[in-house]
Amino acid sequence: MLHALLHDTRFFDLLFRLDQDLADQAQAQGCPCGGRLDRASYPRKPRGGPRGLPPEQERRQSFCCHLDGCRSRTKPPSLRFLDRRVYFGVAVILLTAMTHGVSPRRVAALRSELGVDRRTLARWHKWWQDDFPASGFWREQRARLSPALSDDGLPGTLLERFSAEPEQDGIVSLLRFLAPI
């Protein structure tokens, strides 16, 4: 079952390694001003993943230009973190998809298992239904999907689209798709 991935440390190790590769690529490209990018990663306290992850897996990769006149920051895409959300991206996707047609019993089970508040689930659902479909990212990416996906049922429809692959590979592909957010 897909929600078992939320407790799989090997899956989170894979996401961490993939994020490291994306960070290395971003650092190799350097700053648009031509300066060198130095690591300036910062700690996060992500929720919705397995217990006991190493501390380095709770850091968001980030870089800062070393030139005094620039000092601009660069955040590479991430498969672990979905925008500024506290929960891991995979948790936001899977839990929101699981709450379609949400019943009080299902919400209670999610709350007890992962500590996700009912209001948090409602915010995520609203984001997937209202904010995400209105985003420039989704308008551009939706045009590339064939056949077209309906905005109704997001993120479940995206999850179904990427589920043609084996379970873990499909989730990784979906996270790669959403990484630029």
What's the pLDDT at 103? 65
- Predicted confidence (pLDDT) per residue in 54-107, tens digit: 999 999 999 999 999 898 999 999 999 998 888 999 999 988 887 765 567 777
What's the pLDDT at 178? 95
pLDDT bin (cut points 50, 70, 90) of residue 1 is low
What's the pLDDT at 101? 58
Q: Where are the domains of the chain?
A: 14-78, 82-181
pTM score over 0.75: yes
Does residue 38 carry a pLDDT above 90?
yes
- Predicted confidence (pLDDT) per residue in 117-174, tens digit: 888 888 998 999 999 999 999 999 998 888 888 888 899 889 888 887 667 888 999 9
Please answer whether residues 25 and 67 qualify as being in contact, where contact means their C-beta atoms are separated by less than 8 angstroms.
no
E strand or H helix that includes residue 110: helix 104-114
Q: What secondary structure does DSSP assign to 10-69, as a single string?
A: HHHHHHHHHHHHHHHHHHHH--TTSPPEEE--EE---BSS-TT--GGGGEE--EEE-STT
Mean pLDDT (whole number) for 28-52? 92
Q: Residue holding tokens 């997937």?
A: 128
**Distance separating alpha carbons of residues 25 and 156, to the nearest angstrom:** 31
